[in-house]
Amino acid sequence: MATKHRTPRAQAVEVLDPAPQRQPVVRNHPIKLGTPDEMRLEMARVYREARSGTLDTQEASRLVYILGELRKAYETQVIDQRLKALENRP
Q: How confident is the model at residue 46 (pLDDT cuts 50, 70, 90)?
A: very high
DSSP 23: P
Q: Which of 26, 20, 17, 28 is nearest to 53 (CA)?
A: 20
pLDDT for residue 18: 61
The predicted model gives 47-64 an average pLDDT of 94
Q: What letter represents residue 38's amino acid?
A: E
Q: What letter represents residue 42's amino acid?
A: E
Q: How confident is the model at residue 29 (pLDDT cuts 50, 70, 90)?
A: confident
Rounded CA-CA distance 54/41 in Å is: 17
pLDDT for residue 47: 95
52: how many CB neighbours lie within 10 A of its CB? 8
pLDDT of 21 higher than 80 = no
